[in-house]
């Protein structure tokens, strides 16, 4: 574990070996289907270049990104793997996509009309977000020539409720299978992302697309998390002060001290992605003990009640663990009333970052 430097106010540690272990677990579970890796949004905030390089070294040969720029950044360091761009193609020259050998995921016949070459075809089976609509699918079945000049490698769709015990999962799976059969296109099929992998072999088809699970988010909410934890976040205490009733803490005086105690101010705030929804709800850990977050999360600072912690452990220069083994991304998300995806992708650029494993 890399120690925090004197000038660092917070340290985000990312375990590349844990990411690789999570990918291997999913690959084994999905076999014989191929396991790709979704590294969009800068690998969910953890650094796409570093993450993808570690996964490629471990054997991953297919990656998904959201935008063309993300694909270009990845191609600069990964010359050989397949890189699919989920947003597809947009009106205008497609030279960057072609030159980089990126593979667009075509989400409509309008996008298909802009493209020639290798592609994936996205059919909507119930999300009503991206993907060919029912009328477009029927048109394509009636006239396959609409895709003249397009080499359809992959036909894919996306589950709406994969992390829930929902009848919609089986309905979408059946609809996808029927549509793919009727279309008769593509060498491969893909339906399952992280949670979909754990719905069983019927959902695996030829390729699965794990994203959040690679980064430690639980793909099976309500059950034990099968994934290794990837992220640790430590914040440095800037100041500890004595407080007493009727003193208040932070903006809006939203926390009123009930009696004598001590409050530690930590150099992390919503500018660092520590969600404002954690105000008066979150907590941190010092030497294994929980310390509640009191007052509002502000731009650069948060405050914790450290009254129950020895002064030898809670002092200026000491650290509070904000994310770690005893308080993982899903736990933080539950406190904020959101999901682990948002917590990860919000993690800010001001943190000092340390990568461990992955051949580092």
The string of pLDDT tens digits covering residues 73-126 is 999 999 999 999 999 998 887 788 999 999 999 999 999 999 999 999 999 999
**Could you please report the per-residue DSSP string of 94-150?**
-HHHHHHT-EEEE-SHHHHTT--EEEEEEB-SS--SSSB-HHHHHHHHH-GGGGTTE
Say what the pLDDT of residue 92 is: 80
Q: Looking at residues 318-336, what average pLDDT do you find?
A: 96
Domains with residue ranges and CATH for the chain:
16-215 (3.20.20.10), 231-327 (2.40.37.10)
Residue 274, pLDDT > 70, answer: yes
Q: Average pLDDT, stretch 236-242?
A: 97
**Two structure tokens written together for 191:** 């339906």
CA distance 345 to 46: 8
Residue 236 known to be catalytic: no
Task: Say yes or no to pLDDT of 48 above 90.
Answer: yes
SS3 3: coil
At 360, the pLDDT band (50, 70, 90 cuts) reads low
Distance CA 350, CA 322 (A): 15
pLDDT 10s digits, 175-199 = 999 999 999 999 999 999 999 999 9
What is the spatial distance between Cα 288 and Cα 37, in angstroms, rounded to a whole number?
34
Residue 252 pLDDT exceeds 60: yes
| Catalytic residue (choose from 40, 44, 215, 341) | 40
207 in Cβ contact with 36 (< 8 Å): yes
Catalytic, out of 44, 215, 236, 251 = 251
**Which pLDDT value is given to residue 94?**
77
pLDDT at 203: 98
Alpha-carbon dihedral sign for residues 306, 308, 312, 318 = negative
Average pLDDT over residues 305-324: 96
Q: Check if 270 is active-site.
A: no
* Residue 247 predicted with pLDDT over 90: yes
Give one word for 337, left, alpha or beta, with left for phi > 0 and alpha for psi -120 to 50: left
Two tokens at 275? Answer: 């969600």
Mean pLDDT value across residues 27-48: 98
């Amino acid at each position: 574990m890399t120690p925090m430097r004197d000038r660092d106010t917070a340290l985000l540690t990312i375990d590349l070996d844990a990411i690789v272990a999570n990918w291997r677990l999913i690959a084994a579970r999905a076999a014989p289907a191929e396991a790709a890796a979704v590294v969009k949004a800068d690998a969910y905030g953890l650094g796409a270049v570093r993450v993808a390089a570690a996964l490629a070294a471990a054997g991953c040969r297919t990656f998904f990104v959201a935008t063309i720029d993300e694909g270009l950044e990845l191609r600069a360091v990964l010359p050989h793997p397949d890189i699919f761009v989920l947003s597809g193609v947009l009106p205008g020259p497609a030279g960057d996509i072609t030159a980089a050998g990126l593979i667009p995921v075509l989400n409509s016949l309008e996008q298909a009309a802009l493209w020639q070459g290798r592609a994936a075809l996205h059919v909507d089976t119930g999300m009503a977000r991206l993907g060919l609509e029912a009328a477009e699918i029927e048109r394509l079945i009636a006239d396959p020539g609409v895709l003249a000049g397009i080499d359809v490698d992959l036909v894919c769709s996306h589950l709406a409720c994969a992390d829930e015990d929902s009848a919609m999962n089986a309905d979408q799976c059946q609809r996808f299978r029927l549509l793919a059969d009727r279309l008769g296109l593509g060498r491969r099929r893909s339906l399952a992302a992280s949670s979909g992998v754990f719905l069983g072999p019927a959902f695996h088809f030829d390729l699965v697309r794990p994203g959040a699970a690679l980064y430690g988010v639980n793909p099976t909410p309500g059950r034990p998390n099968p994934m290794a934890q990837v992220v640790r976040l430590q914040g440095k205490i800037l100041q500890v002060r004595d407080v007493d009733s009727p003193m208040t803490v932070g903006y809006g005086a939203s926390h009123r001290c009930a009696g004598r105690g001590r409050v530690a101010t930590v150099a992390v705030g919503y500018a660092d992605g520590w969600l404002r929804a954690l105000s008066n709800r979150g907590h941190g850990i010092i030497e294994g003990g929980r310390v509640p977050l009191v007052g509002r999360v502000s731009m650069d600072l948060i405050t914790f009640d450290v009254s129950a912690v020895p002064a030898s452990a809670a002092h200026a220069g000491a650290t509070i663990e904000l994310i770690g083994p005893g308080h993982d991304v899903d736990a933080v998300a539950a406190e904020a009333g959101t999901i682990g995806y948002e917590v990860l992708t919000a993690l800010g650029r001001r943190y000092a970052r340390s990568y461990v494993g992955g051949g580092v």
